[in-house]
């Protein structure tokens, strides 16, 4: 029996990176998954899961539009007969626009996807979980929501908001059996971080990517998926209202000079 055997799930941002890795991990552990993404790449994720013998369906949606969130929740319930887990993972970085060049529209779009998106997911999934007396909601925050210099101002603010949303919503669901947690990735190689990796490799500095954490390296999407899998599973039955950094130890440190090894 898999750790998520029989669990009915939704994963947003499933078309690539962390969302795709988590979708595959959930499928291997026996979950049925509605994979949601804004791009058609979500169907490639579904095809990979089906080829491996898993159970998944795909759907395109904009997670920051309430009508489309309602549609993906309704689709999952119609297909699976109910819901047990949602991983609200979809997000955008917005790039590194200098502070005084940032506009209200720029902020609005990042907040719409990164913070309003998880809020809408929680709003429309939680009533179904509350009705059955249990369920797990996981959101993707970021180390950028914990400390400065891991992302641009609006991105960091949006992820700090996700951490607060997880704390406040878990308390709003007091006594219902519904758990809400977040994972805070460090530097992970995904489509979102591709420019960072491409620039470092072009300069010949690939070996320095991730050097500021005690592990001395960057992370892989599967390493985030492993934490999400735990939070989704019954193994985390007493874990609630928390935001977990998965960052090689980055947020455990103050700025430092890398020690010499010789």
Query: What DSSP letter does each residue of the chain carry, written as one string?
Result: --TTTT-EEEEESTTSHHHHHHHHHHHHTT-EEEEEESSTTHHHHHHHHHHTT-EEEEEE--TTSHHHHHHHHHHHHHHHSS-SEEEE----------GGG--HHHHHHHHIIIIIHHHHHHHHHHHHHHHHT-EEEEEE--GGGTSSSSS-HHHHHHHHHHHHHHHHHHHHTTTSSEEEEEEEE-SB-STTTHHHHHHHHHTT-GGGTTTTSTT-S-B-HHHHHHHHHHHHSGGGTT--S-EEEESTTGGG----PPPP--
Q: Tell me the catalytic residues.
A: 155
């Amino acid at each position: 029996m898999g750790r998520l055997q029989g669990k009915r799930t939704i994963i947003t941002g499933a078309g690539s990176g962390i969302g795709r890795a988590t979708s595959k991990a959930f499928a291997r552990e026996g979950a049925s998954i509605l994979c949601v993404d804004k791009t058609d790449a979500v169907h490639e994720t579904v095809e990979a899961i089906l080829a491996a013998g898993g159970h998944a369906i795909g759907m395109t949606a904009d997670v920051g539009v309430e009508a489309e969130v309602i549609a993906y929740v309704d689709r999952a319930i119609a297909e699976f007969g109910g819901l047990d887990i949602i991983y609200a993972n979809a997000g955008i970085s917005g790039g590194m626009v200098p502070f005084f060049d940032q506009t209200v529209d720029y902020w609005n779009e990042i907040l719409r996807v990164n913070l309003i998106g998880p809020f809408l997911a929680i709003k429309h999934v939680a009533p179904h979980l509350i009705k059955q007396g249990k369920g797990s909601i996981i959101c993707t925050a970021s180390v950028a929501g914990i400390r400065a210099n891991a992302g641009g101002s609006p991105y960091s603010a949006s992820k700090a908001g996700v951490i607060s949303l997880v704390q406040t919503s878990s308390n709003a669901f007091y006594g219902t059996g519904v758990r809400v947690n977040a994972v805070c990735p460090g530097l992970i190689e995904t489509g979102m971080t591709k420019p960072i990796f491409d620039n470092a490799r072009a300069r010949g500095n690939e070996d320095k990517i991730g050097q500021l954490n005690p592990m001395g390296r960057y992370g892989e999407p599967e390493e985030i998926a492993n934490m999400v899998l735990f939070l989704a599973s019954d193994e985390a039955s007493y874990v609630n209202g928390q935001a977990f950094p998965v960052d090689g130890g980055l947020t455990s440190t103050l700025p430092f000079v890398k020690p010499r090894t010789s």
